[in-house]
Structure 1
Amino acid sequence: MSLLSLSPTSLDLFPNGLLTLLAILITGLVLIIITCRNHKSNRKTLPPGPPGWPVIGNLFQFARSGKQFFEYVEDLIKIYGPIITLRLGSRTMIIISDASFAHEALIERGAQFATRPVETPTRKIFSSSEITVHSAMYGPVWRSLRRNMVQNMLSSNRLKEFGFARKSAMDKLIERIKSEARDNEGLVWVLRNSRFASFCVLLDMCFGVEMEEESIEKMDQMMTAILHAVDPKLHDYLPILTPFNSGERNRALKLRRELVNFVVEFIEKRRNAIRNPGGSDETASSFSYLDTLFDLRVVEGRETTPSDEDLVTLCSEFLNAGTDTTGAAIEWGIAELIANPEIQSRLYDEIKSTVGDRTVEEKDVDKMVFLEGVVKEILRRHPPTYFTLSHGVTEATTLAGYSIPVGVNVEFYLPAISEDPKIWPDPKRFDPNRFVLGREDADITGVAGVKMMPFGAGRRICPGMGMATVHVKLMIARMVQEFEWSAYPPGSDVNFAGKLVFAVVMKKPLRAMVKSRSRN
């Protein structure tokens, strides 16, 4: 579940006054003539959407709406239908919110919609080259990197080998929650603890060397800083402002240098552990993601292996892809269990009947049918992000009778699909039974038909889908086995408003009351 997207959901950064001033200044430029001509000729065949201003497109209208971007898009869908066009400065976005259109694009015609738009200059600073899995253009480099990740790290057999890392992280999670509850009269922050556990698992998988908690926290802070740095800024949509952005670019370059210097230390530590098995580093794991990358030929038949900078990029995306998204899924899941205590009780009863008084183990979760339904319903009601990673087309094509030119951002709006009343009865209700009693057969890969796509769909579906579901199931099972969760303040309703912070998290972070359960 990658967060380093080109999706537009961070546009909430633009201040109204600045946009007004820019609109006045830019409309005086000669670029207006070119833009107007191109826009007039293209708009006839593009999907419908609101008319925009010259050069800045719909940026000003969005800023004036005072809404989060996904809310603005929802309003436009009601007016213009399930496939719409937005122009945000130099970027044209085609936003799709219909399950059948998504299936046609991503499954039936997957190769045409499998590439990515060109990255912004700031993002390229942190990519160092085209050697990334999440944003590489569709082609041999992407295929080599993805095949290596899936076959060598994310296959079911390989995931089982990292069971020790998950057990260690789950034990730490439970102890952290117990300690925090003791110090705060039963109160705990859910997201902070769940994302820390997710991050620890991924660190073990990525580097294969044990880290001190100080190093873990520093790594986490640096990864978070990167996500802030690559959020789209105004100049990404209005390149004419780039010359005025030297300060931000310099800060990004400095952050990149700091990241490389910090991460390379662990890369070298892993290299030494491989070269000297049984040496001084006794905490090294037998295998790690780095091991698959050291001698990887990025394109078969060509002697090209990743540089240290490439390794930093690949490790960064591996860590960022599964930390905030998994942590957010746990926060939403615990919130739903608090709001639906009968579901929490039923889940606890299933855990109790499956494992008795012993601690839940990874092998147990696959036997729990209701747990499976709970996790699927979490992903349906609360997909990790509002939009999939941005897609692009490899050649000009059409969809739903409209033109899809090369160079546009093709966005898929997930809540409109997973909450479509034509697909889901009572879609706003949190009801795991829809997956347990055979009423719904939702293939979350989308191959058999798109009903929900929390991990995307088609050729660019998130390669970590299997790993993510394992982590969420195990974490939910352990947290419910150990604790009874309730609202704070007692008797209050859970506020389910969301916002985008790399992943879609609760607008009001969930602080919950926990009570340890007896194992007898």
Structure 2
Amino acid sequence: MDVVKCSPCNLFDHAIIKSGRGGGGSSNNNRGCAALGVSRSPSPKIRMASLRAALPLWSEAAARKLEDMAKSSGLDQAFGEFGAGSFLPPAATAALLGLALLCITVAILHKHSSKRRRNNLPPEVPGLPFVGNLLQMTVERPHRKLTSWSNEYGPIYTIRTGQKSQVIVSSPELAREAVVAKYSSISNRDLGSNLTILTRNRKIVAMSDYGDRYRMLKRMVVNNLLGQTSQKALHVQRENYLRIALDGLFDELGRFPGSTGQVNARDCIANFLFRLGMHQVFGRDIESVRVPELGAEVTRWEIYRVLVQDVMKAAVQIDWRDFFPSLKWIPNRKFEDGIYKVERKRSAVTKALMEQHRQLSRSQQRDKCYCDVLLDNESHYSEDELLLAAWEPIIESSDTTLVTSEWALYELASGPKLQEKLYNEIKRVVGDERMVSEDDLPNLPFLNAVIKETLRKYSPVPILPPRYIHEQVELGGYTIPAGYQLIVNIFGIHHDPKRWSNPETWDPSRFLGVEGGSFDMGLTDMRLMPFGGGKRICAGMAQVFYVVPMIIATLVQHFEWTLPQGDMDKRNVVEDTVYLTTQKLEPLQACAKPRVPRRLPSKTLNAVPSNNKVPEHKH
């Protein structure tokens, strides 16, 4: 028997059969016959013989029941019952259903392929039905997977993650076209459920939709905290906390004089950055705060965990429904409860800190700070905006700045010759009698190159948060429909071998000379864009170029850094990222050997946090 088309009537429209005993009949009479393996012949004998010949294909019980019905009620009744699916065994049902789904999928893919050709879309990475490229993204770090695809499909291509389509760009020219030239069509973030909850529906500068509220929030934080003028005014605070950190490091090493000098460099840097960030926002060095909603006194390191670490962990939790918007109605309580718990604790601690700040008299020992600016303009903000405006500078200075500082120190500890080159530059400019200061930074080109090369190889955020394309746009010669997401692969741009020689090698010398000074860090030139680019460039960029160089310069000036032998052996297999940023997978454990017996004196005489003021706040 040669089956031309086989389908049960409840899944397909009709069946056509060719049988050695005969065939024919109307399409209605043939329904179900092909799956059974019999045809509707005018001769009852032939029809009964065909039925008996096909019965071994089915379960014994179903075959017996079907044959009994054929004898007692006639073949028409038997064929009608079969056509309704009454005798189809479970295994056959599953197989035929799978065949039906396969046919549907092939039809959808064919239609999708035809539509792509008509719409002039970029090349598409092949994926699986329904899930697209989602499973492929779990094989390795997403930014590395996207980079490997750009090597195969070019600097612009598309992928699908579930029901969402993304266009990926991995070249500076396309990045500039997307975030500068076509900004009006691609200006807003497309956030997942976790970030929507953590930002209370986009109420922070980094994640808010572009518009009047975004401009107001960004202007406030730049003019009064993160801009060049404010950051210059805060240099004494930074120097004070650096002195405190260095004194603490000397004390720790002094307690164990015969040891290898191994320290947790991440904790050392994180402690400095968090205390500095809290002081800039709340005007003092905070030891603890009473949190009524938690019913407890929360210490500094507990505050750090709640405001920074827990939030960064929650930011990478995945809600599978984000990839299938049509299934948002399905509950995912475990995921939501976990994110909301982190958000509630973050809000409770921030609220307690602001309330504590309100209660402090201006006569007490604290500096003019960003929280004062926020409270003076309280009437312009909602409660959510006020809390998040106080929290956002703390997490940005405590996490992304930490990532860059830790990787720079790791590379210098791994490369003694490059570390010695930096130390000699500092010694030549500063001498042996005092600590390096921010006034020295313009005269330390190799230090500047160290920071830029670290930002290239270890961009704090390797992939820009997705932007939503809200109207059809031309990009790279292709037509991108509204509804797609745009993803700029910063890691791919910074590791393109066509633009960077030996991109996996950390080599600060590439940023020396005239060429090294031509990078504007993403304002218009996207060859190096660790802070994003265009109008949505990171508001904290100026702070990074004050804080990170001073951390690295003072640590190298006072200590010789090396990796423990075990870490040196593993150097070439280091993984790069965890959480939302490219944070080192394991905290940096490094050996610090003092170059001088104690911390060098600084230009400023005060060793305690000063009462320096930020400029009058601007609205």
| Residue 518 of structure 1, aligned match among 591, 596, 602 | 596
Deviation at residue 177 of structure 1 after TM alignment = 3.1
Q: Which amino acid in structure 2 is aligned with residue 392 of structure 1?
A: Y
User: What does residue 584 of structure 2 align with?
Assistant: 506
2:522–2:537 CA contact under 8 A, matched in 1: no
In structure 2, distance between residues paired with 1:472 and 1:505: 15
Specify the alignment match of 1:257 in structure 2.
Answer: 344
SS of aligned partner of 1:505: coil
Q: 1:124 to 1:431 in 2, by over 3 A?
A: closer
Partner of 2:4: none
- Residue 42 of structure 1 and its aligned partner are, at CA, apart by 5.5
2:303 to 219, 225, 234: 219
DSSP 3-state at the match of 1:53: coil
Q: Distance in 2 between matches of 1:352 and 1:337?
A: 16
Which of 271, 292, 313 lines up with 1:228 in the alignment? 313
Following TM superposition, by how much is the alpha carbon of 1:459 offset from its aligned partner in structure 2, in angstroms?
0.7
The answer to whether the aligner puts 1:470 opposite 2:546 as a matched pair is yes
Where 2:443 maps in the other structure, the secondary structure is coil
SS at match of 1:105: helix
RMSD: 2.9
| 1:409 Cα offset (Å) | 2.2
CA distance in 2, matches of 1:124, 1:401: 33
SS at match of 2:189: coil
Amino acid at match of 1:167: E
Aligned residue number for residue 292 of structure 1: 373
Instruction: Work out the CA distance in 1 between the residues paired with 2:414 and 2:589.
Output: 13
Deviates more, 1:128-137 or 1:424-433: 424-433
Letter in 2 for 1:178: F
Gaps of 5+ in 2: 1-96, 289-297, 601-619
CA distance in 1, matches of 2:179, 2:579: 26
* Corresponding residue for residue 67 of structure 1: 140
Secondary structure at the counterpart of residue 516 of structure 2: coil
Letter in structure 2 aligned against 1:283 = Q
Distance between the aligned counterparts of 1:209 and 1:32, measured in 2? 62
Change beyond 3 A, Cα 1:317–1:363: same
3-state SS, counterpart of residue 84 of structure 1? strand
Task: Give the one of 409, 423, 431 matched to 1:334.
Answer: 409
Larger RCO: 1 or 2 (CA < 8 Å, sep 6+): 1
Change (3 A) 1:379 1:255: closer
How many Å apart are 1:153 and its aligned residue?
1.5
Aligned to 1:266: 353
State the Cα distance separating 1:131 from its structure 2 match.
2.7
1:332 offset after TM fit, Å? 1.3
> SS of the counterpart of 1:344?
helix
Q: Deviations over 1:318-350 (max 9, x none)?
A: 222222211111121112212322221121112
> Is this contact kept in 2: 1:55–1:89, CA < 8 A?
yes
Is 2:168 aligned against 1:95? Answer: yes
Change (3 A) 1:211 1:39: farther
TM-score normalised per structure 1: 0.84
Q: State the shift of 1:43 in Å.
A: 3.7
Structure 1 residues 35 and 465: alpha-carbon distance in aligned structure 2, compared to 1, 3 A threshold: farther
Matched, 1:364 2:427: no
**What is the Cα deviation at residue 103 of structure 1?**
1.8
C-alpha spacing 1:327/1:48, structure 2 compared with 1 (3 Å) = same
Establish whether residue 277 from structure 1 lines up as the match of residue 362 from structure 2.
yes
Choose 1 or 2 for highest CA Rg.
Answer: 2
Matched with 1:322 is: 397
Q: How does 1:108-127 map to 2 (within 5 A)?
A: 108-117=181-190, 119-127=191-199
Match for 2:310: what amino acid?
Answer: A
CA contact (8 A) 2:168 2:487 kept: yes
Do the aligned partners of residues 140 and 343 (structure 1) sit closer, same or farther apart at CA in structure 2, a change above 3 Å counting? same
Instruction: Tell me how far apart the structure 2 counterparts of residues 403 and 176 of structure 1 sit (CA, whole Å).
Output: 57
Deviation for aligned residue 1:312? 2.1
Per-residue Cα deviation, 1:78-126 (whole angstroms, up to 9, x for no partner) = 2211112111123322111111111222233333332212x33333322
Give the structure 2 partner of residue 7 of structure 1: none
**How far 1:179 moved relative to its partner?**
4.2
Contact 2:134 2:161 in 1 (8 A): yes
Mean CA deviation greater in 508-517 or 183-192 = 183-192
Are 2:275 and 1:200 aligned?
yes
Letter matched to residue 254 of structure 1: K
Q: 1:378 deviation in Å?
A: 1.4
Equivalences for residues 352-501 of structure 1 within 5 A: 352-356=427-431, 357-489=433-565, 492-493=568-569, 494-495=571-572, 496-501=574-579
Contact between 1:380 and 1:454, CA under 8 Å: does it hold in 2? yes
Residues 128-178 of structure 1 show CA distances to partners (whole Å, capped at 9, x for unaligned) of 244321111111111111111112222222112222331232123223433
Asked if the contact 1:94–1:408 (Cα under 8 Å) also holds between the matched residues in 2, the reply is yes
TM-score by length of 2: 0.71
Cα distance in 2 for residues equivalent to 1:107 and 1:241: 33
Q: Give the SS at the match of 1:386.
A: coil
Query: For the structure 1 residues 61 and 449, does the alpha-carbon distance in structure 2 shift closer, same or farther, using more than 3 Å as the test?
Result: closer
5+ residue gaps, structure 1: 1-23, 298-303
Q: Find the residue that maps to 1:411 and give its secondary structure.
A: strand
**1:10-29 mapped onto 2 (5 Å cutoff):** none
Cα gap change, 1:324 to 1:397, in 2 (>3 Å): same
